Chain A
Amino acid sequence: METFLQQLINGLTLGSLYALIAVGYTVVYGIVQLINFAHGEVFMIGAFGALATYLLLFQGQTALWILPIMIIGAMVAAVGTAVAMERVAYRPLRNAPRLAPLITAIGISVFLQEFIRLFFDKIPGTNFPSAKAKIPFPQIDVVTGKAFSPLAGVQIQRAAVFTIAMMALSALGLWYFINKTKTGRGMQAVSQDPDTARLMGINVDRIIVAAFAVGAALAGIAGVAQGLQITNINFKMGFIAGLKAFTAAVLGGIGNIQGAVIGGLVLGMAEAMITQYTGMLPDPFGQFGGSSWKDVWAFALLIIVLVFRPQGLLGAKVVDRA
């Protein structure tokens, strides 16, 4: 029972992280039918943005009030990156065949990883450590440190509570943004019918930028959450996280915001549970099960969903009713 509860919490934490990133894939897809494969790097740059903010302003401090400022730093870095890539790389390809922006996305992804790896320590006016190796992520009072243990055998990391809480807050904020703000309503309109949205006076270019920015803001938050959990960050961290979050978005129904959140939680939960319980199966070769197989389960789940329910759990609706 303790094991189950423990995996429930692990799954929820992991799922919250996936969900925060998955929203970015799904919102952009809902508006421009583009899978932005560089979104994982936006998440990574969010983490580096938070780290840079900390190193520049608060080095050596651990007070909790620093955290919101780090989150803002992460969001600025992530949103800046996403908006720039839309403007420079995707907008000129708006009417190109679909393959062109897809290949471009992979190119941007490699570019951003290499940029951070080679140049993070060479940013003028700073003395950041080199990103060629892992960089320790700042430890902040209250959200890092000794885990809670509500029950014997169950550990809840403080960073996990932070991740789940940020996920819940972001989901609420996103719901409000999509349904209650003018830009959010404009996004719904563009995702349902771009031409008619233009006839309503909606500036589609601006809506597309907003979609990239919203996704990036949540990815930035996820970057901070990941840094706090794993306690270090590196230039490659966006690759597998991005791939998993993309899986989550497809699982929930690509283009459907609610679906991305649910897909993230389901994927995180499935990964935790399957990893735990397949270890109990008979294993004649001694190779099977355990955490090294967790990616296998995640992508196996993706394949199963694509075969049996290609529209995703909630259906690939347009961005509507977040």
Chain B
Amino acid sequence: MSDMLEVKDLEVSYGKIKAVKGISFTVGQGEVVSLIGTNGAGKTTTLRTISGLLRPTKGSITFKGQRIDQTPAHEIVTLGLAHSPEGRRIFPQMTVEENLLLGAFTRSDGEIGKDLQAAYDLFPILGERSKQPAGTFSGGEQQMLAMGRAMMSRPQLLMLDEPSMGLSPLMMKRIMSTIKTLQEQGTTILLVEQNAQAALRLANHGYVLEVGKIVLTGTGRELLTSDEVRKAYLGED
């Protein structure tokens, strides 16, 4: 498997505070890679830097063989990298359909309507409520919308930041199985989660982040069965 995304020695700071302290990892084509870790470990900062919202102070980010660490965020989207941000960040005053169409903002091909239908097929509830303002939706529905919106740019790599946050166990299962479906349909996925168990079950590879550093890496299965992860993240002793 060739590497779709390569992050090398990445450092990101907020003023004088280093949030990410030199991490390196790769995401191979067709994989699901999970970054897990507690609050403040630097997971969200890492994703926001990859998608161009933040600039690294050191290190490089290479996507499909091209350096993107100085590329503006709005251009990174057009390269095939979509980011569904933490907290879903849907546009609350717009309808479901308008939200989805904004996901296709950079496209001008004739297949946007087709992809809109594909999003409705993936999440039928979105189709039923396509004209409703997205702000009236529940957390799970907003998460579906955020994922559907990210898919509207036809990404090769989809980055999901805490898709399970605040969801009921049932809804979480639904989201996780959708991630599996998207992988089977050929989308590479970089998943950031606090819910280590769910994230590692899906993952081909996993990385454990602690205060800005990668402390552990392995296949999803290896990490799930490792003592350190079980103790620190799965609440077992």
Residues of A within 8 A of B (CB): 182, 185-186, 188-189, 192-193, 195-204, 317-318, 320-321
Contact = CB atoms under 8 A, between A and B. Distances in A.
A192 B93 contact: yes
B94 A200 contact: no
**Closest CB pairs A-B (n = 3):** A201-B106, A201-B77, A198-B73
Contact of B105 (A192, A202, A320): A202
Given A188-B94, A317-B93, 11 more contacts: A185-B101, A185-B105, A186-B102, A186-B105, A188-B91, A193-B91, A196-B85, A199-B83, A200-B153, A201-B78, A320-B93
A199 B52 CA distance: 8
Given A186-B105, A195-B53, A202 B74 contact: yes
Given A185-B98, A195-B85, A201 B93 contact: no
B113 interface: no
Contacts of B103: 200
Contacts of B74: 198, 200-204
20 contacts: A185-B101, A188-B91, A189-B105, A193-B91, A197-B102, A198-B52, A198-B53, A199-B53, A199-B77, A199-B82, A199-B85, A200-B106, A201-B77, A201-B105, A201-B153, A203-B72, A203-B74, A204-B74, A317-B93, A320-B93
A200 B150 CA distance: 8
Nearest to B87: A196
Nearest to A321: B93
B89 interface: yes
A317 B74 CA distance: 25
Interface in B63-113: 72-75, 77-78, 82-83, 85, 89, 91-94, 98, 101-103, 105-106
A200 B52 contact: no
Contacts of A192: 91-94
A49 to B, nearest CB: 32
Interface of B: 51-53, 72-75, 77-78, 82-83, 85, 89, 91-94, 98, 101-103, 105-106, 149, 153
A223 to B, nearest CB: 33
Contacts of A195: 53, 85, 89
Contacts of B93: 188, 192, 317-318, 320-321
Given A185-B98, A195-B53, A200 B89 contact: no
The binding surface of chain A is classed by DSSP as helix
Nearest to B93: A320
Given A201-B105, A202-B105, A189 B77 contact: no
A198 B82 CA distance: 11
A198 B53 CA distance: 8
A318 B94 CA distance: 12
A185 B74 CA distance: 15
Nearest to A320: B93
A203 B52 CA distance: 12
B53 A182 contact: no
A188 B94 CA distance: 9
Contact of A189 (B82, B102, B106, B153): B102
A119 B153 CA distance: 50
Contacts of A193: 89, 91
B73 A199 contact: yes
B58 to A, nearest CB: 21
Contact of B89 (A196, A317, A318): A196
A196 B51 CA distance: 11
Contacts of A317: 93
Nearest to B102: A200
